């Protein structure tokens, strides 16, 4: 039975290139295992009851949708030569997921060949082994991975212009409605290179017009990927990850102008304060293990986001950062305080602080 369970949890996927070399390659992944049974649902989520709420918190629904996303740091360039103590960092992060009530959707970036088996094996030891890994068979040093407790309807991985960048889409079955999740890791506002017809390595797919810089095209393509699949009524779309830009970036404004809700702001969180690190998600040194053991090391910018498009007719409500409904998760920075008893003296699992969302449709 244990071997059968692992075959389901780490469902194999196959790559199907559909474009010629030099253009963006679209890789289609076909799931070869059926994932879990469907449980009836009144609203969103993994069927955890919503308790007492405060003004502005998610309220008035029997269940909610809880999500976490993190850039977990591959650690290739860390000074300890062991990927910044990858095993203990993974152990700390997965423990934080358990402490956070086992959110049913978890997106991870910077997944390397070293981190991947550590993450997938750790899911056997937390949350009753309920997590399933999607894209667990994708080799590379800076890939995406999704952990979920929900049945998986489909998955697709899109190569973005420029080396190393991708957008990974999973469509989940949340009790008869779809949750479309796109996890991405993108470049900052570099302004170069620009999309053009020649040479082939600078060619960008539609709808990126010629002259668009690669980072902006990455955002355009991720947005299109999240919008693309047909979904059932009452479904929700999520676009999340490390965009390497702050909320004053034109790319951020472009996304919010297209109807994406920045859940951090939707929950009433204050904007990042570099002086204190409050509300920030990035900025710690990513090359020194000592920083990950330093409880005073703080973040200085907010570049990690969970954007959401609620279903038609839903005015989304977000549980506040202090988790007033007491289900283990609020909306805003996740596990933002240093751990007090982390393995090997770790207080941070990454140079990034994870981001969480707890949303309902009251």
Structure tokens at 211: 């002259």
Cβ(110)–Cβ(138) below 8 Å: no
CA 166 to chain centre: 12
Domains and CATH numbers, the chain: 2-360 (3.60.10.10)
179/352 Cα distance (integer angstroms): 25
**pLDDT tens, 206-220?**
999 999 999 999 999
**Which range scores top for mean pLDDT: 42-46, 183-187, 358-362?**
183-187
283 three-state secondary structure: coil
Structure tokens at 187: 């470049």
**For range 44-73, the mean pLDDT:** 57
**pLDDT tens, 107-129?**
999 999 999 999 999 988 899 99
Cβ neighbors of 117 (< 8 A, separation 6 or more) are none
DSSP character string of 292-333: HT-TT----B--EEEEEEPPTT---EE--TT-TT-SS--SEE
29/261 Cα distance (integer angstroms): 28
**pLDDT number for residue 210:** 92
What mean pLDDT, rounded, does the chain reach?
A: 85
**pLDDT tens, 160-204?**
998 889 999 999 999 888 999 999 999 999 888 999 988 988 999
**pLDDT number for residue 362:** 80
**pLDDT tens, 252-310?**
999 999 999 999 999 999 999 999 999 999 999 999 999 999 999 999 999 999 999 99
**pLDDT number for residue 123:** 87
**pLDDT tens, 325-346?**
999 999 999 999 999 999 999 9
Checking if the pLDDT of 41 tops 60, the result is: no
| Angle made by CA atoms 216, 220, 221, in degrees to the nearest 5 | 115
């Amino acid at each position: 039975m244990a071997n059968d369970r692992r075959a389901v949890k780490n469902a194999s996927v196959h790559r199907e290139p559909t474009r010629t070399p030099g253009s963006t390659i679209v890789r289609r992944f076909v799931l070869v295992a059926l994932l879990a049974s469907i449980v009836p649902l009144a609203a969103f989520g993994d069927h955890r009851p919503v308790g007492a709420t405060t003004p502005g918190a998610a309220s008035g629904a029997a269940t909610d949708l809880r999500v976490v996303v993190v850039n977990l740091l591959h650690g290739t360039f860390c000074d300890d030569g062991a990927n910044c103590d990858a095993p203990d960092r993974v152990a700390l992060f997965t423990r934080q997921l358990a402490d956070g009530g086992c959110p049913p959707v978890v997106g991870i970036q910077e997944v390397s060949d070293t981190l991947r088996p550590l993450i997938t094996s750790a899911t056997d030891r937390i949350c009753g082994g309920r997590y399933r890994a999607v894209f667990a068979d994708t080799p590379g040093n800076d890939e995406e991975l999704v952990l979920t407790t929900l049945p998986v309807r489909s998955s697709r991985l899109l190569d973005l212009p420029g080396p190393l960048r991708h957008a990974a889409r999973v469509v989940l079955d949340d009790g008869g409605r779809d949750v479309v999740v796109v996890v991405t890791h993108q470049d900052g506002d570099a302004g170069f290179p620009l999309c053009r017809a020649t040479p082939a390595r600078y060619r960008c797919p539609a709808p990126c017009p010629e002259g668009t810089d690669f980072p902006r095209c990455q955002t355009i393509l991720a947005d299109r990927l999240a919008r693309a699949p047909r979904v059932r009524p009452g479904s929700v779309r999520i676009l999340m990850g490390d965009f390497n830009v702050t909320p004053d970036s034109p790319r951020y404004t472009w996304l919010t102008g297209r109807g994406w809700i920045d859940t951090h702001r939707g929950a009433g969180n204050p904007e990042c304060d570099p002086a204190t690190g409050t509300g920030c998600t990035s900025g710690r040194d990513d090359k020194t293990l000592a920083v990950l053991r330093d409880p005073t090391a703080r973040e200085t910018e907010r570049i990690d986001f969970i954007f959401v498009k609620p279903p038609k007719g839903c005015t989304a409500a977000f549980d506040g950062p202090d988790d007033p409904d007491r289900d283990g998760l609020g909306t805003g920075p996740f596990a933002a305080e240093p751990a007090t008893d982390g393995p090997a003296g770790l207080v941070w699992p990454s140079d990034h602080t994870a981001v969480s969302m707890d949303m309902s449709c009251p």
